[in-house]
Amino acid sequence: MFSTIFVCLLTVLVVSFSLSPFLISYAETVEATEDSWTTMEPMPTPFYSTIGAAAVDGKIYFLGSHINGQYDLETNTWTAIAPLPTYNDWSTVVACQNKIYVIGGSAETPTQVYDPATDTWENKTPIPTTRSALQANVVDGKIYVIGGQIPSPLGVVNPSSANDVYDPATDTWSKMASIPTPVMGYASAVLDNKIYIIGGGKIGGPDYSPINQVQIFDPKTNQWTNGIPIPTGVISARACATTGLFAPKRIYVIGGTLTSYYRWASYNVIDLNQVYDQETDTWTTGTPMSTPRCALGIAVVNDELYAIGGHNGSGVVPANEKYTPIGYIPELPNDEKPTTPTTEPFPTTWVVAAIAIIAIVGATLLVYFKKVKKTTGKVEQQSLQY
């Protein structure tokens, strides 16, 4: 009987030890992926983002002069899409209501809208003030296009103060409060329905350096405020924000250049990953991008960042790298994800094992003592008969 107990105990312990490394390995994998970059399938043809990248329905669309492709995250593959009807240098791209909008640029063109469901393009009303080197952001179903570079036949670079909002429902543009410090070549992102205009260049003329100013626009109040300056001012960087679903709400400013807008192709292209935490109102740095570059495309899917293409100072690069943010929690198999990371004071495996051991030992001892009692009773009866 004691041999049976020993075998049961040994079996439970073996199972516990075999499961424990798996769970521990899983936890270590999750922890290791935070604040790290992973190399994904590069673009078939390298290009820098004179237009941009946007995500719709879990797929990323990269648009350039002659590069228009769809990246499928699940298969890690690229597929060609219908070409952009009219290429406009240094326009901007944004996803809104499951469609992709290409707006502005160095020449006056219609707003071009791509429908991923039908792989077709259509023209909409152009932006009122033609300008390039700008970004677009969506708040409450409307597209806001702020600042940028005013075209000049004399080659003089002048930033714009315009703040135009587009309503897809009516195909109309409206004016909003002008940006206090006109900038171009800036990075921007939306956090809690406010638009952050980060860095860029503000000085007119053929040459200028980046600033570290952060200007915040609230569409609800139509007002501007200043934010905490970014530690390193950059030009031609890209920014995006995590939603708080799988990673804490933060803004990430990726790459860029520390030199003039017209000289980034020569030197000082950087790999910086500058992180803004709204809760603490502070800037920190994350793990640098694996491939230093500027003028890249960036998109967010399930709170992971994808940095695609760009220019490394010597030429275009096909790089496609995924960044897993700080505090990232992967989606659990049963789709039940805690809102905040939790730690267990004692491994679940050992708790289950302990309960199993107690149950098995208790049941075995109960059976054993019943048999002992029964045997003892028989012996006593036999003794009385004698």
Listed by start position, the domains of the chain span 2-31+342-385, 36-324
CB of 266 closer than 8 Å to CB of 273 = no
Residue that is written with structure tokens 């790290």 in the block: 36
Instruction: Please give the pLDDT value at position 373.
Output: 54
pLDDT at position 350: 45
Are 272 and 259 within 8 A, CB to CB? no
Query: 313 with 324: CB under 8 angstroms?
Result: no
The token pair at 62 is 């990269």
Mean pLDDT per block of 10 residues along the chain (386 residues) reads 46 42 38 85 77 92 81 96 87 96 90 96 95 95 95 74 98 98 95 97 68 97 98 95 96 90 65 97 97 93 95 88 94 50 43 55 56 51 44
Prediction pTM value: 0.78
CATH superfamily ID and name for 36-324: Kelch-type beta propeller (2.120.10.80)
Q: For residue 348, give both structure tokens.
A: 């679940």
Residues 114-118: contacts with CB within 8 Å, 24+ apart? 114/61, 114/81, 114/82, 114/84, 116/56, 116/57, 116/59, 116/61, 116/70, 116/81
